[in-house]
Structure 1
């Protein structure tokens, strides 16, 4: 399918002169139309199987297979494709049967050229409706498969659409939520805030984003990132994301950093790309660099290429299916100034799910004294 203004039409009529004349008039009526003509349903099906069309126009009374039989076959492959019956055989019986089998429109052939303008208008309207519907289906599919919770509220504040992710956040089925007021999923104190602060903002500005507290069906509450946008028709589109896990991760990170800052040994965290994401004060004291220099740098800042490759081999051992949870190996750390420092690196990986590696962490222990003792 081409641009939105381009319409590729298949015209089937057993009278070749009439088919060509119709194609000529249609293309004259709308320069976005491109019309291909064939003289039988069998030829039409052959062409239809090898090309994409935006609309089919067909006569009814044709030898071999009539227009409705042709329509039935087309509908097996393209249930929603605009199909217009343009026929000289006009009767209520034909029209009724055409509607029952899913014809998009029905137009009886007449005299004069005005009929082509009418036909062109019917084609354009049918194609625009079909494209709009296909766009809505794509949007609906995207919404249905979105990880974010998405809902649409009527002007009365009732759910008219809820995707599965949205319903799951609150412990309901989508069907249970449709027709319910949004107050269903907020505690009383939050409802007051929404009416007093959020709704007025959306009304005046058309948009609001922030954090709210959601109420699940089981009575538990949770923090959520919430965005509201108002449509031209007054409906509200809501997107919601549960922040509980994020808050838990932040809490765990604070605990982790508090813990490692109390450890005298140097501690580091590398992200999944192998760059320093976190180091404690003891680490900075050992290497002699400031935090700004270290964060975002690779271990080559403080290790030789050989030492880095040895660490990568040990990391691969941990990541293997039957590997240990952590490894311990010796490494030389090259500080900004002075001699290399022999250390033991106790390395493990950050928690991750499936095959989504998140990074590694380790504790360095200065073993200079041990090495000096061994050399005596």
Structure 2
């Protein structure tokens, strides 16, 4: 039987690099199942496992699987760089040793495990002391692993727990998480008591040991400040005699430092094991800060998404809902649980789904922009549907592969109503401009409130200047007979006097008559001509679109009333002009005959129709015309 020790290696890294010398036999595998199969067939001295494995498993998964059956087998877990979370979890799973390759020579450590020795420079010579240090490290890492599983702690509470674990492991009384920005050192969180230190205290960073950490980007430690010539002023002022600190970074940007200190000096420098522990603790804290910042950012986005009135969704690459906000459930009438996991065709008909998929394909292949907007019908749980606009964008995973779509669904029912109302107003405007009398204008307005705005309770009151009243002249069929109001009476008078729209939606009596039908009335002044009152029934309350279109209608009506008044005035003048027997004429802006009396036409020897539109030169010589122009100029 061979005395050659056998190592089981789990990973893709060259197995030879993990052995202390050629006398060790190595069997490589890549999965937990293969590792367990090998352990069942042969006795192995130890297992070396990489955290990064080729499949879906991690080294922690392999460690857990082996520990279920082999509780005493030495297992070494490796990462390329120090990773506090991995180290803490591995300790929870009873790893024999965690080895970051960047800091520790793996082959040497494996050799130490096989021989039961410790060749590290700072390793205690006494085996009992070595075991004590190992137990201390493992105990601290177990606490860190336990902390990672606790929910409900605030960021400050979590940091305080980390600092307490660090102080206990490193044998010091003070722990700090410091924020460093713009040359200022601020204590963000602190554990331990010191008369000169407290959270929120600031110091120029150059007056602190942390300055050395930030300058070099490396861990800095001082066992006895009295041995450091020209130490930072803060050490001299406070009597802080030992220090060890490491840089904290969040998403690659310097955040501050994680450091530990004490008023008493240490008899020995911080050991490699203690420094390695602080490196792991710093890495764990980096991850925790990054996680919290990311959660804060996601929470802000979530609050924004939930606050918007539009529906927000995300679909996977197959078109199944992965996310919907509250507005999306409100719009569709389906609950979040009903939508999540459902196919997009759940709220769209086949034609809409086919069209959307076609647009997505064009976006993927570059025939469209990465963002696209299109209109569609959304099917509701009630069986109804509504017009919507979908503003859609593509989603990609970390490998730049298509991962689905995200979009914003906006209900455009009101927009459609407004567009239709505005289109109807074009015809209404033509009718208003063709009206011959104020009564025709008023009746056209009543028709428009129903055909263009969709309201069947409306009334037009015109202003009677002589009586200073607002007199009803036209109304919808459903409006009962209404009284004459003084020009400043009631809601119509209020809107007329202010020349501003007025919407009343809290009243028991409208215009002095009972109504169990109307829930709101909109009063729209038509210039100085009067007021149009429009009533809304239950379930058809006024929208911004209704108010906007109503204002346009009232404005067009005012213009129509102005035109009718002008034409009536012109007709009166024309009637007077026609009955004048004097020789008179009127010229337009271009100096041509606009009006000519019959006596003048007869005297000139022309038909009236012939003269209209002609220049006076047809009947006058140039000298007379020049004299006339001169007199007009004067």
TM-score normalised over the length of structure 1: 0.51
Q: Quote the residue 1:39 is aligned against.
A: 192
Query: Given the alignment of the two structures, is residue 220 of structure 1 paired with residue 384 of structure 2, yes or no?
Result: yes
1:327/1:134 Cα in 2 relative to 1: closer, same or farther (>3 Å)?
A: closer
Structure 2 residues without counterparts, runs of 5 or longer = 1-154, 201-257, 261-270, 398-402, 442-493, 512-521, 536-540, 573-634
What SS is found at the alignment partner of 1:147? coil
Aligned-residue offset at 1:168:
2.7
1:328/1:223 Cα in 2 relative to 1: closer, same or farther (>3 Å)?
A: closer
Of 154, 158, 163, the match for 2:325: 163
- List aligned pairs for 1:359-370, cutoff 5 A: 360=551, 361-362=554-555, 363-364=557-558, 365=561, 366-367=564-565
What SS is found at the alignment partner of 2:190? strand
Structure 1 residues without counterparts, runs of 5 or longer = 1-6, 49-83, 87-108, 268-309, 332-343
Q: Deviations over 1:57-83 (max 9, x none)?
A: xxxxxxxxxxxxxxxxxxxxxxxxxxx
Of 323, 339, 359, the match for 1:177: 339
Query: Given the alignment of the two structures, is residue 142 of structure 1 paired with residue 304 of structure 2, yes or no?
Result: yes
Q: Deviations over 1:97-122 (max 9, x none)?
A: xxxxxxxxxxxx99543332222221
Aligned-residue offset at 1:181:
0.9
For residues 352 and 313 of structure 1, the distance between their equivalents in structure 2, rounded to whole angstroms, comes to 23
Number of aligned residues: 248
Q: Confirm or deny: 8 A CA contact 1:19 1:37 kept in the other structure.
A: no
Aligned-residue offset at 1:174:
1.4
Q: Quote the residue 1:239 is aligned against.
A: 408
1:319/1:222 Cα in 2 relative to 1: closer, same or farther (>3 Å)?
A: closer
Q: Deviations over 1:318-356 (max 9, x none)?
A: 45778965477885xxxxxxxxxxxx35466899459x9
Q: Confirm or deny: 8 A CA contact 2:500 2:525 kept in the other structure.
A: no
1:328/1:151 Cα in 2 relative to 1: closer, same or farther (>3 Å)?
A: closer
What SS is found at the alignment partner of 1:208? strand
Q: Quote the residue 1:260 is aligned against.
A: 429
1:370/1:208 Cα in 2 relative to 1: closer, same or farther (>3 Å)?
A: closer
Of 315, 320, 328, the match for 2:499: 315
Aligned-residue offset at 1:316:
5.0
Of 287, 298, 313, the match for 1:125: 287
Q: Confirm or deny: 8 A CA contact 1:14 1:39 kept in the other structure.
A: no
TM-score normalised over the length of structure 2: 0.32
Of 210, 213, 216, the match for 2:374: 210
Aligned-residue offset at 1:317:
8.2
Q: Which has the higher contact order (CA 8 A, sep 6+)?
A: 1
For residues 156 and 329 of structure 1, the distance between their equivalents in structure 2, rounded to whole angstroms, comes to 56
What SS is found at the alignment partner of 2:309? coil
Of 310, 313, 331, the match for 1:151: 313
Q: Quote the residue 2:419 is aligned against.
A: 250
Aligned-residue offset at 1:151:
0.9
Q: Deviations over 1:219-242 (max 9, x none)?
A: 434322112212222132121112
Of 172, 177, 180, the match for 1:18: 172
Q: Confirm or deny: 8 A CA contact 1:23 1:37 kept in the other structure.
A: yes
Q: Deviations over 1:4-59 (max 9, x none)?
A: xxx99665669999345x549x889xx9985453426xxx9x959xxxxxxxxxxx
Across the aligned residues of Structure 1 and Structure 2, the Cα RMSD in angstroms comes to 4.9
